Chains A and B, each alone.
Chain A
Amino acid sequence: GAGVSQSPSNKVTEKGKDVELRCDPISGHTALYWYRQSLGQGLEFLIYFQGNSAPDKSGLPSDRFSAERTGGSVSTLTIQRTQQEDSAVYLCASSLGKYQETQYFGPGTRLLVL
Chain B
Amino acid sequence: LAKTTQPISMDSYEGQEVNITCSHNNIATNDYITWYQQFPSQGPRFIIQGYKTKVTNEVASLFIPADRKSSTLSLPRVSLSDTAVYYCLVGGPRDDKIIFGKGTRLHILP
Residues of A within 8 A of B (CB): 4, 33, 35, 41-45, 48, 55-56, 58-59, 91, 93, 98-100, 102-108
A-B contact count (CB 8 A): 60
Chain B contact residues: over half helix, strand or loop, or mixed? loop
Closest to B40 in A: A40
Q: Which residues of B contact A (CB under 8 A)?
A: 32, 34, 36, 42-46, 49, 85, 87, 91-93, 95-103
The residues of A that contact B98 with a CB separation of less than 8 Å are 33, 35, 45, 48, 99, 103
30 contacts between A and B (CB under 8 A): A4-B43, A41-B102, A42-B85, A42-B101, A42-B102, A42-B103, A43-B100, A45-B97, A45-B100, A48-B97, A48-B98, A55-B96, A56-B96, A56-B97, A58-B97, A91-B43, A91-B44, A93-B43, A99-B91, A99-B95, A99-B98, A100-B93, A102-B46, A103-B36, A103-B44, A103-B46, A103-B98, A105-B43, A107-B43, A108-B42
List the B side residues contacting A4 at CB < 8 Å.
43
Cβ distance B27 to chain A, nearest Cβ, rounded Å: 13
Contacts A48-B96, A93-B44, A105-B45 supplied; 15 other A-B pairs, CB < 8 Å: A42-B100, A43-B87, A45-B97, A45-B99, A55-B96, A99-B32, A99-B95, A100-B32, A100-B34, A100-B92, A103-B36, A103-B44, A105-B44, A108-B42, A108-B43
CB pair A42 B91 closer than 8 Å:
no
Chain A residue, CB-CB nearest to B44? A105
A99 in contact with B93 (CB, 8 Å): yes
Distance A35 CA – B101 CA, assembled complex (angstroms): 12
Give bound CA distance, A45 to B95, whole Å.
Answer: 12
Residue of A nearest to B45 (CB): A105
CB closest residue in chain B, given A106: B43
How far is B34's CA from A33's CA once the two chains are assembled, in angstroms?
Answer: 16
